[in-house]
Structure 1
Amino acid sequence: MNPPADSLQVALADDQALVRAGLRALLQQQGIVIAVEADDGGSLLAQLPDHPVDVVLSDVRMPGVDGIEALRRLRARGDATPVLLLTTFDEPDLLLQAAEAGAQGFLLKDAAPEDLRAAIEAVAGGASLLQPVSTDPIRSRYRYHADDAPKERFSEREVAILRLLAGGYSNKEIARAMFLAEGTVKNYVSVILEKLDSRDRTRAVLKAITLRVI
């Protein structure tokens, strides 16, 4: 059965043919259209100008141009298409590299099918998924940052908002979930960024993990 006309259009990149075929079948079963398919980052970059998509779903580790390098080149040429990176490696360094390169999401390949679908829908809608890997390795690897970081106290409401930020919720969604005005949430986010000495949400969430705030 053909997917509905308003289905999400996705570009799929993975160097392993069997993995790519499995992901293609899984996504098509959920009504997602695979508009671009590539076996490396170079092929992905070459196809995207002629085939605009809603989300790029790419493996991180590929020979030649890997997922993170493809993402960097995509952003360098002004393409803001949301990118969701997949990996089998639970490595905190990759999360940081992906976030700094401009990824909207980072997901382990053993995620449940419904989680993958939800992640694609979330990043297509403008959200970010910043906590898909275990947080303990991040805290351990970057503990030296936390030792020198300011440890201002966070209120329970600020911690709750930080957790929602880590889940990719927008200010409007946070306001709805916490029964607050959107302007109030915006003020809370500004205070949180200031307390964490961070210039954006991604860095604030990563620093909050390191400091064990969330």
Structure 2
Amino acid sequence: MNAQLRIALADDQAIVRAGLRALLERQGISVALEAQDGAELLDLLDATPVDVVLSDVRMPGVDGIEALRRLRERGDATPVLLLTTFDDSELLLRATEAGAQGFLLKDAAPEDLREAIARVARGETLLQPVSTGPVRARYQYHAADAPRERFSEREVAILRLLAGGYSNKEIARAMFLAEGTVKNYVSAILEKLETRDRTRAVLKAITLRVI
């Protein structure tokens, strides 16, 4: 973990913020600012740039997803990792649409949270496995949107790992492939699904029942 990594912490409960701050600082992560809601978070970020924003989803007033949406609207691309106590696929979809890089449940193990912060800071996307029903209900595609080519078993396996937020390097290690080979597979998957990025590819693949 990079000792210089600086994060913004937003949660409406002071005791939760204190606990997270203590946990993160023990792991070498600097908490540059704390906010009790999304509005305060946005104000503080104006003056204090950070590497990652770690925010609760459900807060009174401006919640985490609305704060994220406003952050993106003003051109701020700081990676955002959203935390929630609710295993709710609808929240994950809203967070993804708003531009979140990561989404984790609050009961995640400390080492998982630390790794998630490091990964989104590196520009990766981290989405926990999500129930497929709400995804299909939200994203309806017509027959014309179906992939022009069928997916191989290996491509389906890689798509499932992408859905779990794994990086190319981690997929390569799990499937005993070269990282360059995985990169080529991912490019082919994006082309077949006619999507620009991994997150949209996963959502469309779920909708089309590829995974």
**TM-score normalized by structure 1?**
0.83
Inter-partner Cα distance in structure 2 for 1:144 and 1:124: 28
Aligned residue type for 2:121: A
Aligned position for 1:193: 190
Q: Compute the displacement of 1:87 (Å).
A: 0.7
Query: Share of identical aligned residues, percent?
Result: 73
2:146 matched to which residue of 1?
150
The change in CA–CA distance for 1:209 and 1:5 in structure 2 (over 3 A counts) is closer
Residue aligning to 2:123? 126
Residues 87 and 108, structure 1, Cα contact 8 Å, conserved in 2? yes
Letter in 2 for 1:179: L
Change (3 A) 1:190 1:134: closer
Q: Which residue pairs with 1:7 in the alignment?
A: 4
Cα distance in 1 for partners of 2:198, 2:115 equals: 21
Name the CA shift for 1:143/1:95 in 2 (closer, same or farther; >3 Å): closer
The one of 44, 50, 70 equivalent to 1:47 is: 44
**C-alpha distance 110-196 of structure 1, shift in aligned 2 (>3 A):** same
> For residue 180 of structure 1, what is the amino acid of its counterpart?
A
Amino acid at match of 2:111: E
1:5-64 deviation per Cα after TM superposition (whole angstroms, max 9, x unaligned): 833111000011121111111111211111010000111111112211111000011111
Counterparts of 2:167 and 2:70 in 1: how far apart (Å)?
A: 26
Q: Which runs of 4+ in 1 moved over 6 A?
A: none
Verify the 8 A CA contact 2:86 2:105 in the aligned structure 1.
yes
Runs of 5+ consecutive residues of structure 1 not aligned to the other structure: none
Unaligned runs of 5+ in 2: none
- Change in Cα spacing, 1:123 to 1:181, as seen in structure 2 (3 Å) is closer
TM-score norm. by structure 2 comes to 0.85
Relative to structure 2, which stretch is displaced further, 162-171 or 114-123? 162-171
**Which of residues 129, 132, 135 in structure 1 aligns to 2:131?**
135
Q: Can you list the C-alpha shifts for 1:90-118, whole angstroms capped at 9, x where unaligned? A: 11111111111110000011111111111
CA 1:113–1:172: 2 relative to 1, 3 Å:
closer
